[in-house]
Amino acid sequence: MKITNGKVFLDGRFQDLEIKFENGVITEVAEHVEDDEVIDANGQDVYAGFVDCHVHGAFTRSFFENGHIDFSNGEEQIREILRRLPYYGVTSCAPTLMSEIDTTGRTMKEATQLIRKVRKDVVGADPFKIHYEGPFLNKARSGCINPDGAVMPSIEHAKVIVDNDFSDTLIICVAPELPGAMELISYLKEQGVHTEVCYTLASSDVVREAADHGLDQTSHMYNGFENLHHRVNGPILGVLLDNRIKAQMLCDGYHVAKDWIHLAIRSKGLENIYGITDMTCFSGLENGEHDFEYYGKIIVQDSKVYDSNGTIAGSNLTFDKMMRSARDNIGLTKEQIGSLYGENPALCLGIKDRGKIEVGRRADFTIMDNDYNVLQTIIKGETYYKA
């Protein structure tokens, strides 16, 4: 099978190429490839299937069964999220688990087990790795998610939440100023796990020290950090000045204002930043007020989701809409958006088996029109969704 007549996004630019794939794997990328079976892209844009590495849930469902929201059927929640994500171009994701409701690690462990169970016969987006945005957070940091569930960093607790298996752990968030943090970061690097900084009161010097130990990511850049101040060497400065640390970015103009995004790109370089959605179980709710037992009142207003205090509660934009917002609200070019959302997640996280149109990687593709509407989503060489 080959894809022809498309503008293929590869290495930061759109190119007139054809793609051949067999048995779910890309076998050839060239100006012309031979194959009798053809998918005609009709002049539209062809991206590697999108990888969302920061998504808590969507469509009123959550990856975190028995976590912040008490769902009655966790497996159904996960399956429905994964079933629907490809409608918006996402072919792989890292289910993102928030801070715990207790300090034992039990709830995160249960969520981990459930995701692994679903992965064995998944239909839809592949939950190939897991992202733990907690519980090793600084509860003294204003706005820390669920401070009652935050715990001190330790190797032992990390083993509990991953159920003694780091093989499918993508990222663990660690506030590097906490006791035990540096030891944990070094250990996780040895296990092949990325660590990210967020919900922290660390100085820029401590962030750099953590990078020396292996920390190489941020959770949603700027959000969850102290405000910049010209008399304080805070953690954002450490991130901006150290390109060993890759930055997740929400390009909606709501989580982060336009010029702050341009500042990060100019400071760190586009290749060190990647796009995420940060969708939650609130994503997909109708505009208006909604009551939840754990969170209380949640207000949804178009792309915005916040609680009664005005605190942001995740994003309400799917992956395709986030790309459109990066154009309309941030003013990024088509090539910049293609890099941030198309290739940079794999680049910044060292993902080698997907996330780029390259021989040997998974035959996952998203075909979009010029306005970022998803026309066709292909997973492991098979059309999963077609508009």
pLDDT value of residue 142:
60
pLDDT value of residue 385:
98
The residue among 17, 6, 15 whose CA lies nearest residue 43 is 6
The residue among 322, 317, 285, 292 whose CA lies nearest residue 307 is 292
Determine the Cα–Cα distance for residues 125 and 127; give it in Å rounded to an integer. 6
pLDDT band at 65 (very low <50, low <70, confident <90, very high): low
pLDDT value of residue 107:
84
Number of neighbours of residue 340 by Cβ within 10 angstroms? 26
pLDDT at 247 over 50: yes
pLDDT value of residue 144:
63
The values of phi and psi at residue 378, to 5°, are -115, 130
Determine the Cα–Cα distance for residues 161 and 193; give it in Å rounded to an integer. 14
What is the tens place of the pLDDT at every residue in 25-44?
999 999 999 999 999 999 99
Look over the chain and give the mean of its residue pLDDT values, rounded to a whole number.
93
Question: 252 with 322: CB under 8 angstroms?
Answer: yes
Side chain identity, residue 302 = D
pLDDT value of residue 79:
96
Instruction: Name which residue leads in pLDDT, 315 or 2.
Output: 2
pLDDT value of residue 60:
83
User: For the ranges 23-27, 41-45, 71-75, which has the lowest average pLDDT?
Assistant: 71-75
Q: Which domains does the chain have, with CATH numbers?
A: 2-47+367-386 (2.30.40.10), 50-352 (3.20.20.140)
pLDDT value of residue 72:
63
Percent of the chain scoring above 70 in pLDDT: 96
Burial class (CB within 10 angstroms; exposed 0-12, middle 13-18, buried 19+) of 41: buried
pLDDT value of residue 105:
81
The residue among 201, 220, 359, 194 whose CA lies nearest residue 277 is 220
pLDDT band at 167 (very low <50, low <70, confident <90, very high): very high
Number of neighbours of residue 267 by Cβ within 10 angstroms? 15
pLDDT band at 101 (very low <50, low <70, confident <90, very high): low
pLDDT value of residue 66:
44
Percent of the chain scoring above 90 in pLDDT: 79
pLDDT value of residue 143:
65
Task: Evaluate the omega torsion of the peptide bond into residue 135 and state whether it is cis, within 30 degrees of 0.
Answer: yes
Query: What's the number of CA atoms in the CB half-sphere (13 Å) around residue 364?
Result: 23
pLDDT at 314 over 90: no
pLDDT value of residue 198:
96
Structure tokens at 269: 């370089």
pLDDT value of residue 145:
66
| Cα–Cα distance list, 122 to 22, 79, 128, 131, 379 (Å) | 20, 7, 10, 18, 12
pLDDT band at 70 (very low <50, low <70, confident <90, very high): low
Structure tokens at 154: 């330790």
pLDDT at 157 over 80: yes
